[in-house]
């Protein structure tokens, strides 16, 4: 596997190896400016990388911008290395997201250091000296679990066959319904 930077400046990358140590895939991530991936964690099909970046950062159709100031980032991938989410952690001067953990429920914990002031979710942090440290959990709405397993339900429909009103059991759950005519043609959803 040969990886090249976007412009000769440092980029970060994602590599996957088999249990035998054989490379499965590799990809360079980043843009024409400088990025550094500093921490990585994986759990149950979810992979996350944190680090620092400057400028615009794009990943599989997702993008964030630092406006030219070094910011922290956290990026989430599925097991195939496809980008699923990308989050900026902004700072006034600079921020480095150098620690990362994916918890047992898929929660993403990030830690690192910042100069002067940093914004973590909607919380503004101010350093007591020239730099400060932070640790926090990213908002779970921003970092969805990658490809949640589908729960199979035994659904009973009555009357069957029938027309008009139908009853679904178990009650109170959301269902995606498709209706077909006697020839098997879809007539509604």
181 within domain boundaries: no
pTM value is: 0.69
The percentage of the chain sitting over the pLDDT mark of 90, rounded to a whole number, equals 14
The pLDDT tens digits for 64-106 are 988 888 889 999 998 888 888 998 888 888 888 899 999 888 8
Q: What is the largest CA-CA distance in the chain?
A: 74
Chain segment 162-182, per-residue pLDDT in tens: 777 777 776 666 667 777 766
Residue 121 DSSP label: T
Q: Could you tell me if residue 127 is inside a domain? A: yes
**In sequence order, which residues have a C-beta less than 8 Å from that of residue 185 and are 6 or more positions away?**
none
How far apart are the C-alpha atoms of 29 and 49, rounded to whole Å? 11
Do the domain assignments include residue 58?
A: yes
Residue 4 has pLDDT above 90, yes or no: no
Q: Is the pLDDT of residue 42 over 80?
A: yes
β-strand partners of 29 = 12
The total number of structural domains that make up the chain: 1
Asked if residue 161 is part of any domain, the answer here is no
Tell whether 29 is covered by a domain: yes
- Flag whether 155 is in a domain: no
Domain boundaries, position 77: 12-137
Tell which wins on pLDDT, 184 or 68: 68
């Amino acid at each position: 596997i040969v990886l090249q930077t976007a412009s000769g400046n440092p980029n970060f990358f994602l590599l996957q190896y088999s249990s035998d140590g054989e490379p499965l895939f590799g990809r360079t991530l980043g843009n024409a400016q400088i990025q550094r991936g500093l921490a990585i964690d994986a759990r149950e099909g979810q992979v996350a990388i944190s680090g620092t970046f400057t400028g615009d950062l794009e990943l599989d159709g997702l993008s964030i911008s630092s406006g030219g100031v070094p910011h922290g980032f956290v990026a989430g991938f599925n097991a195939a290395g496809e980008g699923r989410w990308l989050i900026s952690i902004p700072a006034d001067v600079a921020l480095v997201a150098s620690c990362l953990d994916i918890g047992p429920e898929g929660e993403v914990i990030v830690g690192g250091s910042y100069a002067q002031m940093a914004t973590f979710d909607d919380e503004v942090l101010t350093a007591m000296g020239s730099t400060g440290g932070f640790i926090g959990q990213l908002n779970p709405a921003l970092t969805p679990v990658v490809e949640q397993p589908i729960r199979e339900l035994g659904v009973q429909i009555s009357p069957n066959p029938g027309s008009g009103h139908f009853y679904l059991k178990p009650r109170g759950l959301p269902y995606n319904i498709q209706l077909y005519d006697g020839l098997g043609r879809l007539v509604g959803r």
